[in-house]
Amino acid sequence: MVIVFLIFLLLGAPFFEYKIKKAFSPCHAEKVKKIMDTISFQIGRYLSALAFISAVTGLLVWFFLAYLKIDFAVTWGVLAFILNFIPTVGSIIASIPPVLVALVQFYPSYMPAIITAFALLSIQVTIGNFITPKVMGDRLNLSPVVVLISLLFWSLIWGVVGALISTIIAAIIKIVCESIPSLNFISVMMGSGKIYQKEFEEKS
């Protein structure tokens, strides 16, 4: 269903600008266009940064698992790359299969599975605490609670695909609310709050 929706959206994309000009007054049409441009720019930056982080994660997972001689290391590296697009839980889910494979592969020894789990945990902690903050910063400025709620909601509706696009949908809602004065308070509540903390600290 998501693919079908995407196809129809792409088919209608070339005419969207003309529909906006026809539907709204010149002033409002320009405002809507700015909102759409902001959404496109923000999502583009977020996806490019996330793709870079996911690629680094996948390569590190593949390298360490190949070094530990875990079966299907390339497969687990690709899985880590894909699931890293799902916030919070994706990296946890991607770490489970290699550990289970290590348990079966080196049975009755449990040490390889423990080392594998430790290696994957180290990768996730290092990337989550050092690389991600540097690359991502506050690109979308979304509250972790909003990200989690969006993840649960859209994954229930659209499954894995919903989980993959949940953060993007939340970001779009936030940007739209940010651009409409009467809905600005929703955008503020959806934010992480870090920017507002700095703002009030500077005033005081």
Q: Give the domain ranges of the chain.
A: 34-138, 140-204
Q: What is the mean pLDDT of residues 81-106?
A: 85
Q: Show Cβ contacts of residue 117 under 8 Å, excluding neighbours closer than 6 positions.
A: 95, 99
Q: Which among 101, 62, 104 is positioned nearest to 82, based on CA atoms? A: 62
- Residues 59-77 have pLDDT tens digits of 999 999 999 888 888 999 9
Q: What is the pLDDT of residue 64?
A: 92
Q: What is the pLDDT of residue 107?
A: 84
Which of 27-31, 165-169, 196-200 shows the lowest per-residue confidence on average (mean pLDDT)? 196-200
pTM of the predicted protein model: 0.71
Q: What's the longest Cα–Cα distance across the chain?
A: 73
Evaluate whether 33 touches 39 at the Cβ level (below 8 Å): no
The residue with greater pLDDT, 192 or 177, is: 177
Q: What is the pLDDT of residue 182?
A: 85
The model's confidence at residue 133, banded by pLDDT at 50, 70 and 90, is: low
The secondary structure element, H or E, covering residue 77 is helix 73-83
Neighbours of 15 (CB within 10 A): 10
